[in-house]
Amino acid sequence: MSEIEIVQPEDWGFNLKKPLMIAGPCSAESPEQIDKISKGLQGAGVDIFRAGIWKPRTRPGSFEGIGKEGLEWLKIAKENLNIPISVEVANARHVEEALECGIDILWIGARTTVNPFSVQEICDVLKGVDIPVMVKNPINPDLQLWLGAIERLSAVGLKKIAAIHRGFSNRYITEFRNAPEWSLPLRLKEMVPDISIVSDPSHICGNRECLADVSQKALNFGLDGLMIEVHHDPDNAWSDAQQQITPQTYKEMVDRLIIRKSIDSVPELRSDLASLREKVDQMDKQLVEILAERFTYISEIGEYKRLNNLSVFQKDRWKEVTDSRVNMGVEKNLSEDFMRAMMMAIHEESIKQQEDMLEKK
C-alpha cells in the first residue's frame, strides 16, 4: 500500500479548527428537533453538525432512522449554525442520497467499518467525489480493519479523511459501553501520522456521567477533537437516550475542558524538553544494553538445559523471578501491572530463544 495522503480538516474548505468539535443528535427525528438542537448550539463553537438518518441497530424493532427525508432537515442546522453538516453512510445508496442532498461530510459507522465489502461499495461510489469522510473504528479492537477502510478510501482518490475513535465492544460489564482502548487510536496515528482522530465519548461512555472525563482524557492523549451527541430532550430521544446531553450541558462541559497543545504548535517548548528527552534516550540505550547482556546469560542457561536434557520452562523459578521483580518495581513506584507485563514479555522472549536452541541442535 502506498503512502496515505491526508488533507487536514483545516483544509477541507469549511473554516474548521482544532480541536474539531462535532455535535448533534444521535438521530434526526423531526425538523423541529433539528431546529431546537441547532439553535441551542449557537455560540457553542461547534465545527460540524452531526445527525444519523440511517441507524444501524443491533436488533430490529427499535428506531432505525428516519431515512432519506431527514437529509433535508439537516439544512435547518446548516442555516442556524452556518457550519457543515454530516451523516453516517453504510452503503452505496446512502452515499448517493447524501451527495444528492448536498451533505458536506460523511462518516462510516463502526458496524460498517468491520465489513470490507460495505466499505468498498461506499468507496466505489465516492471515486472522483471531493467530500471529506470520517471513519469510525470497527466495533472490535482490530486496527487492521480501521486502517483497511482508510486505505480503501485513499485508493479511490479521497484525501480529506479523518478517523473517529468510538471505543470497542467488549464482553465484560464495565463502566463503558465501548472500551476506549486508548492505545489503539494512538497506534493508528503511528501508522497514518497525518490523520486527525476525533474521539466519540458519547458512544464510549453510553451514559452522561463519564462524558466529561472521557472527553478530557481524549484531549490529554492528543486526539484532535470530539464528537458528542446532543439532544434538546435527551431522555425522550428516539435512540441512545442515556448518553445524549442538552445543548446547555454541552456548552458547560466544553467550557471546562482543558485544551492541550501539540508540541509542534509551540516550538519554543521543544528546547525545554530537549535535555529531559536526551536523558530518556540515554536511559533507553542502557536498557537495551542491559537486556542484551541478560539474554546472553539466558542463552548460556539454554545451552546447559540442552546438555542436561532439562525442559525450558521451570515453573518454580519463574514464579520466584516474577514475584521478586514485581516487588522491586512496586517499591520504586512502578505499577504492578506494568512490572508483570514487562516481566512476561521478557520471559516469553527467553522461552522462545531457549526453545529455538533445543530445536536446532
Report the interface residues with ligand PEP, using CB under 6 A: 26, 52, 56, 88, 109-111, 136, 166, 203
- State which residue, 136 or 251, has the beta carbon closest to ligand PEP: 136
CB of residue 203 to ligand PEP, shortest distance in Å: 4
Q: Hey, what's the cell of 342?
A: 514487562
Rule CB under 5 A: choose which of 109, 240, 254, 298 binds Mn ion. 240
- Written as nine digits, the cell of 338 is 506494568
Touching Mn ion, residues 129-168 (CB under 5 A): none
Q: How far is the CB of 343 from Mn ion (least distance, A)?
A: 41
Binding partner selected for residue 84 from Mn ion, ligand PEP, none, CB under the kind-specific 5 to 8 Å limit: none
Specify whether the CB–CB gap between 123 and 151 falls below 8 A: no
CA–CA distance from 237 to each of 2, 30, 65, 229, 244 (Å)? 43, 11, 12, 11, 8
> In this complex, which beta carbon is closest to ligand PEP, that of residue 204 or of residue 298?
204
The verdict on 105 binding Mn ion (CB under 5 A) reads no
- For ligand PEP, the nearest residue by Cβ is 109
Measured from the CB atom, is 204 or 298 closer to Mn ion?
204
Grid cell, residue 354, equals 531457549
Rounded Cα distance between 190 and 182, Å, is 13
Q: Closest distance between ligand PEP and the C-beta of residue 160, in Å? A: 19
Near Mn ion by CB under 5 A: residue from 21, 26, 41, 122: 26
* Binding partner of residue 136 among Mn ion, ligand PEP, none, CB cut-off 5 to 8 Å per kind: ligand PEP
What DSSP assignment string belongs to 217-285? Answer: HHHHTT--EEEEEB-SSGGG-SS-GGG-B-HHHHHHHHHHPPPPPPGGG-HHHHHHHHHHHHHHHHHHH
Q: How far apart are CA 320 and CA 291, in angstroms?
A: 19
Q: How far is the CB of 312 from Mn ion (least distance, A)?
A: 50
Residues 6+ apart with CB under 8 A from 187: 143
Q: What is the dihedral of CA 315, 316, 319, 322, to 10 degrees?
A: -100
Pick 12 or 107: Cβ nearer Mn ion: 107
> Would you put residue 274 in left (φ > 0), alpha (ψ -120 to 50) or beta?
alpha
The interface partner of residue 89, options being Mn ion, ligand PEP, none and the CB cut-off 5 to 8 Å by kind, is none
Reduced to 3 states (helix: H, G, I; strand: E, B; else coil), residue 215 is: helix
Supply the minimum distance, in Å, between the C-beta of residue 26 and Mn ion.
3
- Report which residue type is found at 351: I
**Residue 123 carries which DSSP code?**
H
Among residues 160 and 166, whose Cβ is nearest to Mn ion?
A: 166
What is the Cα–Cα distance from 119 to 122, expressed in whole angstroms? 5
And the C-alpha cell for 206?
A: 453510553
Closer of 12 and 73 to Mn ion (Cβ): 73
Nearer to ligand PEP, 167 or 247 (CB): 167
Q: Near Mn ion by CB under 5 A, which window of 73-81, 172-180, 232-240, 265-273?
A: 232-240
Question: For residues 189 and 203, which CB has a smaller minimum distance to ligand PEP in the complex?
Answer: 203
Partner whose footprint covers residue 109, from Mn ion, ligand PEP, none (CB < 5 to 8 Å by kind): ligand PEP
> What residue ranges bind Mn ion (CB under 5 A)?
26, 240
